[in-house]
Amino acid sequence: MELAKMAALVVKPMVPASVWQWWRADRHFFNAHGWQNLHLGKFSSFAEANEFARKRGVQSEYRLDHVEWAKIQTTIKAHDYPILYWLGQLLDRNSVVCDFGGSVGVCYYAYQERLQFPDGLSWVVCELPEPAELGAQLAIQRQACGLSFTTDRTAMDGCQILLAAGVLPFLEPRLASLLDGLTHRPRHILINRLPLCSRIPAFVTLQNTGHSVTPMRIDNYSEFIAQMEQCGYELIDSWKCFENSLLVPQHPECEVRHFHGFYLRYREAVH
């Protein structure tokens, strides 16, 4: 019998159930491989979450198998249809879309099957260096017209449409802070797969992506909307992403039963 299993048989009767459950969750989280939608811990900041991981001998970072991710995410899901609807209403000739955290262009490839992209469309994916390089190579192979990649966050400055699908929780600066640094804010913002809590203040947890351990923030719903309103945006539409959920062991108050999607419009764009 493995030493760890033998120790568990001896120690378990001596340890309170809550401590035992935490130990099991901790061990499973840091030893898991492949995507299992695992989360661990409730923290007040990215720094605190990173320090917790460091003490477990893990360097926090964000990594994905972007090639495999592309195979999964180019399949249209229920929460994509509101995005498709609004893109169909907003895209016109020579539109500029900044796809923030768009991996290797997964939304571009998924949506081009359902939408007639207009002439002159510029779809710019803003990503980390590795997926940006992979995405650029893939775009050449697929002859993806109008698709390009950058690592410069200022790409969102002056774009007509900012698309953020699943990336915002992993950014330490909030979206409102990023918008404050722009000279020309996007006229339209489309957000998808955003986890938000409603009963408690914002918190940070750790996620095991299957390839890395990384902090992610779950903002409070009301606070998030208020921040966007302070940036000059009005909420036009919202929807629920039932395909996504989040559980944090030992913290039932942190449960997120579904994620959220939004369409926000800059008030100056109305005039």
Q: Which two tokens stand for residue 268?
A: 């100056």
Q: Does the pLDDT at position 262 exceed 70?
A: yes
Please check whether residue 256 lies inside any domain of the structure: yes
Boundaries of domain holding 122: 32-270
Instruction: Name 101's Cβ contacts closer than 8 Å, sequence gap at least 6.
Output: 126, 127, 164, 165, 166, 167, 168, 170, 171
Please check whether residue 27 lies inside any domain of the structure: no
Between 77 and 70, residue with greater pLDDT: 77
Place of tokens 């006229």: 187
Distance CA 72, CA 106 (A): 9
Q: Return the CATH number at 39.
A: 3.40.50.150
Please check whether residue 258 lies inside any domain of the structure: yes
Please check whether residue 15 lies inside any domain of the structure: no
Query: In total, how many domains does the chain have?
Result: 1
Q: Does the pLDDT at position 99 exceed 90?
A: yes
Question: Are the C-beta atoms of residues 151 and 134 closer than 8 Å to each other?
Answer: no
Per-residue pLDDT averaged across 10-29, rounded? 66
Q: Supply the pLDDT for residue 115.
A: 95
- Region of poorest pLDDT, from 108-122, 210-224, 256-270: 256-270
Question: Are the C-beta atoms of residues 144 and 109 closer than 8 Å to each other?
Answer: yes
Distance CA 195, CA 218 (A): 6
Q: For residues 238, 244, 247 and 248, what is the CA-based torsion angle, rounded to 10 degrees?
A: -80
